[in-house]
Structure 1
Amino acid sequence: MTQTKTQAKTPVNGAGPHDDPLMGVKVIGPDDEEVLEIAKKNGYAVPGEKGEQTPGEPIFKIEGLTDLLNRPDKEWLIDRIIGAGDSGMIYGPPGCGKTFGVIDLIFAACLGQRWAMRFDVLRPLTVCYCAGEGIGGLKERFKAAAAYYNVKDYLPGFYFSPLVPQLFQATGMDTMRRFIDEWKASDRPELDLLIIDTMHNATVGADENSAQDMGRALATMKLATTELGCAQFLVHHSNKAGTGERGSSALRGAMDVMIEVTKAADKYGIYCNKLKDGEAWKAQTFDLVAVEGCDSVRVWWDEPMDDEKQQNTGQKAADKGTIAGEMRRYAGTRFTVKSLAEVLGKTENYVRNLVLEMERDGVCERELQDPGKSQSNRNPWVYFIEPDREKG
């Protein structure tokens, strides 16, 4: 069998060893089809019948400073939480409230609403939640969150799977390739965020403390990002000492964001322990409160620190009045968030949250620019007040 030692190779993007999707995979042979595929996509030369590099064909694309500075800016899906194509981990001990936090994140992401009272969701996202444990209690947990968000029986952009794609290929149980192919073949919209709950259930047969096993799992995650263009969150457990996540340090090295969920007495909290492309944010605390008619609880976020507030209450009320006045003046006209942001001279993130609040309060309505198509960057939400409504 032809062998290629990948540890000696440097990825095309110049990433360090902790960013290498094949870190810990010491030897690649021609039978390792999934790993070979990831190797080729990341610029490695691989053995003969699986696509060995043609002599003289360049592997590295060399660019200058101008090319580097002209690269697109990072696209945040949820501001300071996760960006397009990122990998993240939400971890904590049993009973810390992490699943409730994840469910609240899902609703905020799909509805395009601010999460945890401070993190802007840049647009409504398409989210797939794959759960491998606690399935029996999920119905009531989602029911409680749906009641708070005033969602009946349909959450736009949300998809659920009771089967978790396997990330550890050596088990022969790898279902990630099947997941990718089935998603592509479906009529579902492009996936923005894949949430795998939990990593333990997605790595059957793997040794979490092995850099080699976790390297294979991370390579499979990279395959999903490359093929589907989605970001991913792994839900994971803390170690016994409660000093960090369980398993190999290769996991932390490969993550763009690490969010720890904790519980102290009756108070819960989320903490940013790593944010590769930004400054770690201050802790955000929350409670779990009962919901009438549900056999479960939901997250109740505490007010953020003063320096995290985007605008004071008086300014927000004034800006809402300006938006409503513009909509009444041009009743029936469909306004995008971008056009309203230009009217106010404020950021799109700020305006998006204002109009979502206005819609929720019944001040205006919203619909997709092309109601016959799925939401996307080219088919955004538009906001308006109907002329007949103004006459009435």
Structure 2
Amino acid sequence: MLPIPHGVTPDIPCITSDDFAEVVPVRWLIYELMAVMAVVLWWGAPQSGKTFALINILFCVALGLPWAGRVVERGNVLYVCLEGHTGFKVRVRVAEAERGVSLGDRAQFVDWPVNLMRLEHIHALAKVARKYRIKLIIIDTLSASIAGEGDDSSNKDMARLIHHASLLARMTGATVLITHHTGRDPNASMERGASTLRANVDTSVKVAKLDNQHHWEVVKSRDGPPGICGKFELVPYEYSTNDGEIISSVVVRHLESDGVVHRLKKTVPQGNQATVLAFLEQELVAGPTAEGVPEPSPSIGHEEAIHRCSALFASSEPKHRRTRAKETLSSLVRNGHLLESEDLRLSLPSK
């Protein structure tokens, strides 16, 4: 064997299979469409309706509403708008008016010139996303996010871009969605630019307009089933401001719905999950009522639950017990056996 030079750095950390958490199913932000912590490419030609469909996704994630008949995990959204700021703001306000709801602090918007080719900008976005507990980060658009520092036809540049997006997802726990364009042919089957784009992302979704119909199609999915697609129409909507000004735009209405909300299939807890759930079911017992008024559903802080459940893993090495407890609790939340509130308290779902 050849000798290894002295002073080689860095030391690459290794783990064994004992360090692996329990094998858990994919966690979905939008069921079978976008996974949590995935990097998603959302692309299409101008006038295809991709931005309107994306605003529809923004609202559904922020409000916890089904999107195209698919159950959504509610979470705060960070939208980095790098093009068409004025028109985008109008579209969002019209969507709020049409739904009769304000997004409030469930959505944060950035029009600062973020550049995904710069690692310091990735770190800055991660800091903001953690501050606001973001679950979906939208970068609109890829072209604007690499302005002057990258070329979307370069495999090297696009590999770096997707690597940075993946780092952002891993630092925040959020899904990262990047919008992009087609080439000169609006009916092209590939997004514009380097082949690395489709090869390196987790999910690629094409949005198109064909014969006056708008439709979306998953053309690549690392974890979801093939053939997911849908149709939508853009419906004109207008509202009057307090000053009497009429603001108009369009909103999305999904078509060809079978009326069924596609939901996560609730699994029966096994192994460590069953043990931890049984323990918490004993701990989270509702107290007696006072004067006929039911007590609030009992809950336990996330950190306290990790601490107390760690004792259930006495057979594991001490350094692994907390990790096992944490991952098992996360699995129970993912599978719907525990509820986690915004202030990080765990409780049992109603029977």
Q: TM-score, normalised by structure 1?
A: 0.61
SS in 1 for 2:53: helix
Distance across 1 between alignment mates of 2:96 and 2:346: 25
Counterpart pick for 2:178 among 220, 229, 234: 234
How far the C-alpha of 1:61 sits from its partner, in A, is: 2.7
Deviations along 1:259-311, whole A, 9 cap, x unmatched? 111101321111111121121244211111111313101001113247x6659
Give the conservation status (yes or no) of the 8 Å contact 1:144–1:296.
yes
Counterpart pick for 2:50 among 98, 105, 115: 98
Q: Which amino acid counterpart does residue 90 of structure 2 have in structure 1?
A: E
- Cross-structure match for 1:246: 192
How far the C-alpha of 1:155 sits from its partner, in A, is: 3.4
Give the conservation status (yes or no) of the 8 Å contact 1:268–1:287.
yes
Give the conservation status (yes or no) of the 8 Å contact 2:39–2:162.
no
How far the C-alpha of 1:229 sits from its partner, in A, is: 2.0
Counterpart pick for 2:167 among 188, 200, 223: 223
How far the C-alpha of 1:220 sits from its partner, in A, is: 1.6
Gap change, CA 1:380 and 1:88, over 3 Å in 2 = farther
SS in 2 for 1:71: coil
Mapping of residues 7-46 of structure 1, within 5 Å: none
Gap change, CA 1:132 and 1:331, over 3 Å in 2 = farther
SS in 1 for 2:238: coil
Point out where structure 1 has 5 or more consecutive residues left out of the alignment.
1-46, 312-329, 337-347, 352-367, 384-392
Distance across 1 between alignment mates of 2:125 and 2:25: 29
- Cross-structure match for 1:70: 22
- Cross-structure match for 1:256: 202
Gap change, CA 1:60 and 1:103, over 3 Å in 2 = same
Matched, 1:120 2:71: yes
How far the C-alpha of 1:236 sits from its partner, in A, is: 0.5
How far the C-alpha of 1:382 sits from its partner, in A, is: 9.0
Distance across 1 between alignment mates of 2:77 and 2:229: 25
Give the conservation status (yes or no) of the 8 Å contact 2:116–2:145.
yes
Mapping of residues 50-89 of structure 1, within 5 Å: 52-54=9-11, 59-63=13-17, 70-89=22-41
Matched, 1:178 2:130: no
- Cross-structure match for 1:298: 251
Distance across 2 between alignment mates of 1:162 and 1:262: 26
Distance across 1 between alignment mates of 2:151 and 2:136: 26
SS in 2 for 1:138: helix
How far the C-alpha of 1:147 sits from its partner, in A, is: 2.1
RMSD: 3.4
Gap change, CA 1:275 and 1:52, over 3 Å in 2 = same
Gap change, CA 1:284 and 1:377, over 3 Å in 2 = farther
Give the conservation status (yes or no) of the 8 Å contact 1:287–1:300.
yes
Distance across 1 between alignment mates of 2:77 and 2:23: 27
Gap change, CA 1:263 and 1:69, over 3 Å in 2 = same
Give the conservation status (yes or no) of the 8 Å contact 1:335–1:382.
no
How far the C-alpha of 1:335 sits from its partner, in A, is: 6.9
- Cross-structure match for 1:378: 345
Q: Which amino acid counterpart does residue 176 of structure 2 have in structure 1?
A: Q
Deviations along 1:11-69, whole A, 9 cap, x unmatched? xxxxxxxxxxxxxxxxxxxxxxxxxxxxxxxxxxxx97xx9134xxx6443428xx779
- Cross-structure match for 1:286: 232
SS in 1 for 2:207: strand
Distance across 2 between alignment mates of 1:296 and 1:111: 21
Identity of aligned residues (%): 25
Higher RCO (C-alpha 8 Å, min separation 6): 2
Q: Which amino acid counterpart does residue 165 of structure 1 have in structure 2?
A: V
Distance across 1 between alignment mates of 2:295 and 2:340: 11
- Cross-structure match for 1:144: 94
Q: Which amino acid counterpart does residue 129 of structure 1 have in structure 2?
A: Y
Distance across 1 between alignment mates of 2:343 and 2:65: 16
SS in 1 for 2:233: strand
Give the conservation status (yes or no) of the 8 Å contact 2:70–2:261.
no
Gap change, CA 1:381 and 1:237, over 3 Å in 2 = farther
Gap change, CA 1:201 and 1:82, over 3 Å in 2 = same
Give the conservation status (yes or no) of the 8 Å contact 1:165–1:174.
no
Give the conservation status (yes or no) of the 8 Å contact 1:132–1:197.
yes
Gap change, CA 1:81 and 1:52, over 3 Å in 2 = same
Deviations along 1:177-232, whole A, 9 cap, x unmatched? 23334555xxx332211100000011113111111111221222122123222210
- Cross-structure match for 1:345: none
Gap change, CA 1:70 and 1:310, over 3 Å in 2 = closer
